[in-house]
DNA sequence: CACAAATTTCAGTCTTTACTGAAACAGGTC
DNA sequence: GACCTGTTTCAGTAAAGACTGAAATTTGTG
């Protein structure tokens, strides 16, 4: 349970520069029962300070990772992972690659066009064109597909 | 010229956590003439200390971003961006997504399977299956395609 | 072997960032 | 308006990391 949470958290921290605690929150919210929890509950579960939870929950909300819920007769706020949280991650990463692709594309004229000169950047552009093409031809994302299905039948 | 270098460097630093100077080196090596340069040349070009170049060139080499060259009658070492540097970036990013996918997959049993319980992680798994499928069906990378073409005729 | 050129390592400074406890704040209830 | 309950902000601490100048090391040359 908590080992798995730690595994995901560590991954987030090491690879994506996400604060460790934010990663733990995320991990916890992926598997906790019930899926929506108060800041206090999460703090207790993962062993972090209440203040830290505030910071990290704000972070996770701002990037659309967790959704904030309020229950009718309660004044505490509950948090849960957004259903399309990971879809956003993937989209973000793809967008990120596209952004680098654009920068490199913009740099092409700077590298000149002599034989062994433009080679570097030409190769780079090729890769990003390849990627773009893949995503252009890709089937719709699961959530999109699901939405289409429901509206249709 | 240097503005473009800075743009790429900033991107690397902000988005990927690459040290700013490593980003500058990378940017410079993408467009400089000639494509291979000594550490001293790079240091001068981007305005960084020689020591910092040593550190960052080692970093860039270790991740396969730049290739180290030695010229016959010279004892200085030259660096240039590897031709498939950006292909590696893309592959790395894809691999990274796959790794998260695996972690989430491993976490599936922890979330239980009750209706609104397994939903979060099931949605996540869907997204990563979608991604895997895309890359499984994708055409070969440009470099691979090129290699195949040459060996064939 | 002495030298010179080029590179790496080291110690130190400086900046950034994560985290916490304590204080301030907001929203209801009596 | 006093008083909970729960949340956010703030100031301070601690740790990590990037960068640099100077010393040490490697590598080639006469």
pLDDT single digits (tens) A12-30: 998 888 999 999 999 999 9
How high is the mean pLDDT of chain B? 90
Task: Of A63-72, A88-97, A121-130, give the range with the top mean pLDDT.
Answer: A121-130
Cβ <8 Å between A86 and B17: no
State the residue for tokens 């209440």: A50
Residue B142 scores a pLDDT above 90: no
For residue A115, what pLDDT is reported? Answer: 65
| Alpha carbon of B55: minimum distance to chain A alpha carbons (Å) | 20
pLDDT band at B115 (very low <50, low <70, confident <90, very high): low
More confident residue, A9 or A113: A9
Lowest mean pLDDT among A44-53, A71-80, B5-14, B91-100: A71-80
Strand C CB shell (< 7 Å): A 17, 19-22, 48-52, 55-56, 75; B 38-40, 50-51, 54-55, 57-58, 75-77
For residue A113, what pLDDT is reported? Answer: 74
What does B64-94 look like in DSSP terms, one character per residue?
TSEEEEE-TT--SEEEEE-TTHHHHHHHHHH
Report pLDDT digits (tens) over A34-88.
999 999 999 999 999 999 999 999 999 999 899 998 877 777 899 999 888 999 8
- Summarize the confidence of residues A83-111 as an average pLDDT: 92
Give phi and psi for B69, each to the nearest 5: -125, 145
| Alpha carbon of B103: minimum distance to chain A alpha carbons (Å) | 7
pLDDT band at B86 (very low <50, low <70, confident <90, very high): very high
- Does domain A2-81 fall under CATH 1.10.3720.10? My reply is no
- Residues in Cβ contact with B34 at an 8 Å cutoff, skipping those fewer than 6 apart: A117
Give phi and psi for B55, each to the nearest 5: -60, -50
Cβ <8 Å between B8 and A119: no
Domain ranges within chain A, ordered by starting residue: 2-81, 85-141
| Alpha carbon of A136: minimum distance to chain B alpha carbons (Å) | 11
- Summarize the confidence of residues B7-12 as an average pLDDT: 94
| Nearest CB to B81; choose among A35, A120, A127 | A120
Cβ-count burial B39-68 (b if 16+ within 10 Å, e if not) = bebbbebbebeeebbeebbebbeeeebbbe
Residue B73 scores a pLDDT above 80: no
Q: Is the dihedral of CA B115, A142, B137, A101 positive or negative?
A: negative
How high is the mean pLDDT of chain A? 90
Tokens of A95: 């967008």
Tokens of B57: 């060139």
Contacts A–B by Cβ distance under 8 A: 148
Q: What percent of chain A has pLDDT over 70?
A: 97
Q: Which chain D nucleotides are covered by protein, judged by CB under 7 A?
A: 5-10, 17-22, 27-29
| Nearest CB to A99; choose among B1, B11, B110 | B11
- Summarize the confidence of residues A113-130 as an average pLDDT: 85
For residue B153, what pLDDT is reported? Answer: 57
Chain A CB contacts of B89 under 8 Å are 97, 100
In whole angstroms, give the CA distance from residue B124 to residue B1: 42
Chain A CB contacts of B112 under 8 Å are 33
In whole angstroms, give the CA distance from residue B128 to residue A58: 26
Q: Most B CBs within 10 Å: which of A120, A132, A144, as the mutation test of the B interface? A: A120
Residue A147 scores a pLDDT above 90: no
In whole angstroms, give the CA distance from residue A13 to residue B150: 42
Q: What share of chain B is helix, strand, coil (3-state, %, to 5)?
A: 70, 10, 25
Give phi and psi for B39, each to the nearest 5: -60, -40
For residue A39, what pLDDT is reported? Answer: 94
Give the distance, in angstroms, between residue B75 CA and nucleotide C5 C1'.
8
């Amino acid at each position: 349970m908590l080992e798995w949470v730690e595994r995901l958290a560590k991954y987030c921290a090491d690879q994506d520069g996400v604060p460790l605690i934010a990663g733990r929150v995320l991990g916890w919210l992926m598997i906790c029962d019930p899926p929506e929890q108060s800041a206090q509950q999460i703090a207790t579960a993962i062993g972090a300070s209440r203040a830290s939870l505030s910071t990290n929950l704000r972070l996770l909300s701002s990037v659309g990772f967790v959704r904030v819920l309020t229950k009718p007769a309660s004044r505490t706020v509950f948090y849960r992972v957004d259903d399309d949280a990971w879809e956003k991650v993937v989209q973000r990463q793809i967008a990120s690659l596209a952004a680098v692709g654009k920068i490199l594309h913009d740099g092409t004229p700077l590298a000149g066009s002599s034989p062994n000169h433009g080679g570097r950047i030409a190769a780079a552009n090729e890769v990003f064109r390849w990627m773009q093409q893949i995503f252009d031809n890709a089937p719709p994302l699961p959530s999109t597909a699901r939405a289409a299905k429901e509206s249709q039948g």
